[in-house]
Amino acid sequence: MQSFDVVIVGAGAAGLFCAGVAGQLGLKVLVLDHSEKVAEKSASRAVADATLACHQLMR
């Protein structure tokens, strides 16, 4: 069984931003979301691109 320092529910802009910050601090992060797409509800392409970058950082 894996363990994580932080579990974030929601892969929207705020959730992925928080995951990115936590990852940069050296924490092991798990992001959960009901959707298969990252930042699916983001209205702005720039926000979606930034959150995708945070998501990729966590991999």
The pTM (predicted TM-score) of the whole model is: 0.63
What does the pLDDT read at residue 38? 65
Domain boundaries, the chain: 6-57
What does the pLDDT read at residue 45? 54
Please report, for residues 1, 24, 44, the alpha-carbon distance to residue 21 in angstroms, rounded to integers and kept in the order given: 24, 5, 21
Give yes or no for a contact between 27 and 3, defined as CB atoms under 8 angstroms apart.
Answer: no
Q: How far apart are CA 42 and CA 23, in angstroms?
A: 22
Give yes or no for a contact between 36 and 14, defined as CB atoms under 8 angstroms apart.
Answer: no
- Report which residue type is found at 23: G
The per-residue pLDDT string of the chain (59 residues; one tens digit each, 9 = 90 and over) reads 889 999 989 888 788 888 888 888 999 999 888 877 666 665 545 555 555 555 555 55
